[in-house]
Amino acid sequence: MVTTMQLMKRNLVKIPASASAFEAAKVMRERGIGSVFVEQHARIIGIVTETDITRKIVGERRSPEEVLATDIMSSPVIGIDDRRPVTEAADLMDRHHTRHLAVFAQGRIVGVLSVRDLLQPVAIDEL
């Protein structure tokens, strides 16, 4: 069984709650990623994705410099335990209409799993 821990990205990219949507998009572009977590008082309070930028900023002709990331983020963050199978992660993404999941270990976010990660080939040891 392939678990979420095996496919997740461990490098959590965070922006402060005071960041603008423009700053969120800039970080995503610079890092080549599709989402950033929003942090306030050392706690993750939401997630901003490329889809949020496209639909809630560009699609509504809003100025990304004037809109806070907190205004467009998804909250609470949808997540899954790091030991759960990737098939369960795919089902959770489908049910919540999301492309990104936080991965939790012992109640803390330790990674992020995107729908793109689910497409990666995984070597499975044969018994």
Do 15 and 24 contact (CB within 8 A), yes or no?
yes
Contacts of 92 (CB under 8 A, 6+ apart): 78, 80, 101
Q: In this predicted structure, what is the pLDDT of residue 8?
A: 94
> Tokens 């990737």 sit at which residue?
86
Q: In this predicted structure, what is the pLDDT of residue 127?
A: 39
Q: Which amino acid is at 117?
A: D
**pTM score, whole prediction:** 0.88
Q: Which helix (H) or strand (E) holds 6?
A: helix 4-7
pLDDT at 90 over 90: yes
Q: In this predicted structure, what is the pLDDT of residue 122?
A: 57
d(CA 49, CA 53): 7
For residues 124 and 84, the model is more confident at 84
